[in-house]
Structure 1
Amino acid sequence: MKLDIVRVQNYRTLENVEVKFHGYYTAISGQNNAGKTSLIKAIRNTFKDNSREVYFYRKREGVAYRDDKTQWTKGDGDIVFDYEMTVTSADDPGLFLFIEKFNEEKLVGESVRLRVRVSYKSNDETDCVAWVGPKELSNYNSKEILQKLTSSSLAFMHDSAGNYAHIFGPAGRHLHEMMFTADELKQISEEVQKVQNKIKKISKAHKTELSELLGHLEEKYDVDFAIPEGMFTGSIPFAVNLRDKNVDIPLNDWGSGTKNRTQILMSMLQTSRIRSKPDENKITPFMIIEEPESFLHPSAQAEFGRVLIDLANELKIQTIVTTHSPYMLCQDSVISNVLLGRKQVYGKTKQTEVIDVKEDNWMEPFGNILGLNNAEFLAWKEVLFSGKQCVLLVEGDIDRSYFEHIGTLCIPELSLPAGVDIVPYGGKDALRNSILLKFIVEKFKKVLVTFDLDAKSDLERIMTQIGLVEGDSYLPVGLPKPGKDCIEGLLPERVLAKVYAQYTDLVMQMGSADTKERKSAKNSLKQKLLSEFKADKTIVKDDLKGFVAVFKALAKLQL
């Protein structure tokens, strides 16, 4: 089942909001008290985790009108939770057939659009209306469908900040549930019978002793020991050990970040197994994860963010996260990032609002979390949305063209490593924001930042400040000679001489007192140098000695 739209009215700070969920991964962000938790509670009020929440204490759930109604709204307006979802016959046959039954006519196609609106009134009564496609169902049929939704386990919840486990074993050890297919259950049943026979054999003395004790009673009993029926009916609690350097360590003994990640991935595994299980009664749940970045170092957050997004799309599991980390935001589709804020009315903080995130303001969620001006992100869009894990960051498109062209020449020591993305960042000024640059660098597994040598004195301190090492993770490009302290300074002399001789006017314009004229001439010359370099069919390794250091550093980027 996939949740498509949630509308909430008069619930806590959610006076009137509509949130749309695009794709399989959605990241909900916003400042503290923006309404993220209230939105999750509104979803969880109907979509629960019944099969996994019976083992531990939970706070009061449900809606209490007096406590939960939006405080600043007048009158006795209903608290309304309005959900739209897609149910498919392949992933949700149990729910699909149930809807068909109460729709009172056969459903057409392999999926159906279900809408359920639940209203909580001031007199504590509850009303419900359901639609199957455009068709409104009767009151009775609507309530039956709502009951089916609330009684099923449709939302696997992981509260990272709460750091709880679903089942507790001896000494408070966290246990997890493993789901089994029908074939696996059959195999387990056969092994259980073997264990039953073994138990009978080794428990003979225990049986005798217990029989003697029971013999003191007037009524006589026969004693037998057996594995309780129902223990292997579909799932079983199990402990998790993680191996590190050939040592098995219980999950409980790892750090909070490792435990949190493992528990989330176990929930994803269980969800995936439910989805792939050949069961006519199954309903595929979606996942809700609050603050998956909890307890993780920024570089680990970046890795885990990539993993969660990739798994959600690969396994086709709807995953909804709330986050304060820019690394958990979706960088594949900007509309998958939901940003919540609070309106200010006469200086007072009031209702939650959904800030519309589109292509033209894609940076809003990132800027909100990092506390940066949106304009500072503009040069980094292509970098942020790179799908690769290793990148070479270059000043502009011309620099990228040089490296890409050299990589096609098939010259030893001057080849581009597979899987490395070359991305321009729009000029050296973009590197001056150390907060943003650190976020960018930690987003990837491996990074090499390049810039013209003439900017080294300005940028060297920033590179060191964020932990980059010259020759390893950053590299100034050019020769330590006047006019050659840039990437063009590495070109063969014949290319430079030919272009400068052919375009004397542009060379003279470079000395103009007018800044715009100088910049225009510089850009024109850079483009003509690139064109001449690419047109030269006599390029050999000796012509490219200055590029060797860059390509050696590039070779380290390969995973």
Structure 2
Amino acid sequence: MKLVSFSVTNYRSITKAHKIAIGQYTVLLGKNNEGKSNISNALNCAMNILRAHSKTVRARMSREYDWTRDFPIQLQSRKNNLQSRFRLEFFLNENELTEFYQKVGSRLNGTVTIEITIGPNNLPEIKVPKRGKNASTLTRKSDIVAKFISERISVNYIPAIRTETSAMHEIREAVVERLEVLEKNTDYLKAMDTINRLQQNVMDEIAANIKQPLQEFMPKIKEVKLQITDERRRNYFRSGIDIIIDDGNPTNIELKGDGIKSLTAIALLKEHALKSDTPVIIIEEPESHLHPEAINQLNAIIESLSENNQVIVTTHNPLFVVRDNISSNIIIDNGTAKPAKNLREVREVLGIKVSDNLVNSKYILVVEGDDDKEALKYILPKMSEKIGKAIKQNLLTIHELGGASSLSYSLSLLKNMLCSYVVLLDDDDAGRKAFNKADKDNLIKAKDVTFTTCIGMTEAEFEDCLKPTVYQQRIKEEFGCDLSLIPDFKKSGKWSDRVKSSFKKIGKPWSDTIETHVKALVVEEIKKQKEIDDILIPQKKDFLDGLISSIENMITEF
């Protein structure tokens, strides 16, 4: 079962948010005080009211909903339409549709909708709207429908951790909820009966000892009894839990920082989610109190949660934005909610300033040097029509690092600018170290990087896939070095090392400046070639085919 949409009307600052689509990973975005938290609160409130209704408990829901607190204050003085409304739409698979018919006696067309209305009396009214035959029957059986849904889908909610008290409350609540499973354990129940009996024996003795003195003052007293209710006893054994974090110095979590408390709360949530059936997980501002590196790690955890659970996040941080499906980002503005239409809209609501060359760019190819950038701008469109179109429309930009060591820094900036990216790195020690660091920092995945690997070479760079006939004559003219006649150029080793050795072999000067000039000449000669077969060595261009595949998979347009 999946929650597929949620609507809310007249709840706190939200006047109307109609049919917000809920996917595997949904992100609520908005400026401060626009109502992101109120949307997540409303969903949590509605799900908990539904769960309570499934137990046929018709009571005031002051903990979940209080009309004077939750109905928009500016509307409370009017005479009509004084209700908050929530609407939940659930998708059922084939087996669940069959089970629904067996338990409820009504057939569905794939979804079931629950409508919750609450007015000034704080008593929720539950309806199951359905067109056609047996429409009213479902509403009469709303408690059975609610129970059916609640048994198959649950909500886990972590509000923004802003204070030590709220952090510890969320942690303890998570632990207490997990301990509730013991209520069905036979050994635990027997142990509780034993504790109950032993405690009651002591309390009966105490009662007997105080009965006689009390009767001296109040003769009408017939009996004195001390007792602990089962609920209080259970709560006692589920509370008072200390969590010790050992990072080389075992410390009670209450003495740790807010960032550790936030991470612990979410770690407990993940542990619970792995053991639960189809939970909806709501996390408010997960970035609160966290160092940027920890935010990257947390983002990876939340993404992994969304593989088997529906995750809803409220955030101001661009790292949590869903990049591959922009409409999964819901923009909350002026009491309403709507899916984002494009990347520019998301950047605007988050206040992200983007450099001019990236304003319209959604996709980035990251390369090491300017020569790689210029060569690939010419070569890639000849090898892929899709990539050529993306470059022409400024959807795809090629961004040079100025050296592999800048990879992590650049990827961090690109992530904050909400760009999707793939990376091409030289297949050498510097390139591999740069990838390993970025991977450790949760800035890149293996599928997003391509190395300039060439068959038979332990190290290689982009120029190694080029036919020497493209550039040899030009280098000879400019520098007096005929690479075709120098054995060192034909030896193993990456291209720049072989060229350097060739220059020095015949007494020609070599420096970083000359290397840059040589590579620029190579690019100029590449751009004079009309056919791709005149540029690339067939046996050494496999990495380019892999790079093109990665870029094409990244681009969802066309």
Tell me the distance in 1 between the aligned counterparts of 2:69 and 2:316. 30
**Match for 2:412 among 438, 442, 448?**
438
Q: Give the drift of 1:371.
A: 1.9
Q: Report what 1:386 is aligned to.
A: none
SS for the counterpart of 1:40 is helix
Number of positions where the alignment pairs a residue of Structure 1 with one of Structure 2: 423
Q: Is residue 2:236 matched to residue 1:254?
A: no
Structure 1 segments unaligned to the other structure (5+ residues): 52-56, 276-283, 343-350, 384-390, 403-423, 453-466, 468-476, 479-485, 508-517, 538-559
Q: Cα 1:133–1:205, aligned 2, differ >3 Å: closer, same or farther?
A: closer
Where in structure 2 are the equivalents of 1:408-423 lying within 5 Å? none
Q: Report what 2:391 is aligned to.
A: none
Q: Report what 1:410 is aligned to.
A: none
Q: Cα 1:392–1:188, aligned 2, differ >3 Å: closer, same or farther?
A: farther
- Structure 2 counterpart of 1:368, which letter? V
Q: Deviations over 1:321-378 (max 9, x none)?
A: 2111112223454332212334xxxxxxxx5352x435xx245324532423597265
Aligned CA RMSD, in angstroms, stands at 6.1
Taking structure 1 as the reference length, what is the TM-score of the superposition? 0.55
Where in structure 2 are the equivalents of 1:308-457 lying within 5 Å? 308-314=302-308, 316=309, 318-331=310-323, 333-342=325-334, 352-354=336-338, 356-357=339-340, 361-362=342-343, 364-373=345-354, 376=358, 379=361, 381=363, 426-428=398-400, 438-440=412-414
Taking structure 2 as the reference length, what is the TM-score of the superposition? 0.55
Q: Cα 1:87–1:248, aligned 2, differ >3 Å: closer, same or farther?
A: farther
Structure 2 segments unaligned to the other structure (5+ residues): 53-60, 216-220, 380-395, 427-440, 442-450, 453-459, 479-521, 542-558
Q: Is residue 2:460 matched to residue 1:499?
A: no
SS for the counterpart of 1:37 is helix
Where in structure 2 are the equivalents of 1:67-216 lying within 5 Å? 68=72, 76=80, 81-86=85-90, 88=92, 105-107=105-107, 113-118=111-116, 129-132=127-130, 136-137=135-136, 141=140, 144=143, 154-163=154-163, 165=166, 176-179=176-179, 181=181, 185-192=185-192, 212=209
Aligned residues of 2:160 and 2:284 also touching (Cα < 8 A)? yes
Tell me the distance in 1 between the aligned counterparts of 2:122 and 2:195. 53
Q: Is residue 2:226 matched to residue 1:241?
A: no
Q: Cα 1:124–1:246, aligned 2, differ >3 Å: closer, same or farther?
A: closer
Q: Report what 1:20 is aligned to.
A: 20
Q: Deviations over 1:56-110 (max 9, x none)?
A: x9888344599617769999556563523226589999xx76x976x5x24469x
Q: Cα 1:83–1:439, aligned 2, differ >3 Å: closer, same or farther?
A: farther
Tell me the distance in 2 between the aligned counterparts of 1:183 and 1:127. 31
Q: Cα 1:82–1:448, aligned 2, differ >3 Å: closer, same or farther?
A: closer
Tell me the distance in 2 between the aligned counterparts of 1:83 and 1:72. 21
Q: Cα 1:341–1:393, aligned 2, differ >3 Å: closer, same or farther?
A: farther
Q: Give the drift of 1:186.
A: 2.2
Aligned residues of 1:117 and 1:130 also touching (Cα < 8 A)? yes
Tell me the distance in 2 between the aligned counterparts of 1:74 and 1:430. 64
Tell me the distance in 1 between the aligned counterparts of 2:474 and 2:357. 36
Aligned residues of 2:27 and 2:314 also touching (Cα < 8 A)? yes
Tell me the distance in 1 between the aligned counterparts of 2:422 and 2:139. 63
Aligned residues of 1:302 and 1:443 also touching (Cα < 8 A)? no
SS for the counterpart of 2:128 is strand
Q: Cα 1:429–1:213, aligned 2, differ >3 Å: closer, same or farther?
A: closer
More helix by share: 2
SS for the counterpart of 2:177 is strand
Q: Cα 1:91–1:64, aligned 2, differ >3 Å: closer, same or farther?
A: farther
- Structure 2 counterpart of 1:365, which letter? V
Tell me the distance in 1 between the aligned counterparts of 2:345 and 2:523. 31
Where in structure 2 are the equivalents of 1:461-476 lying within 5 Å? none
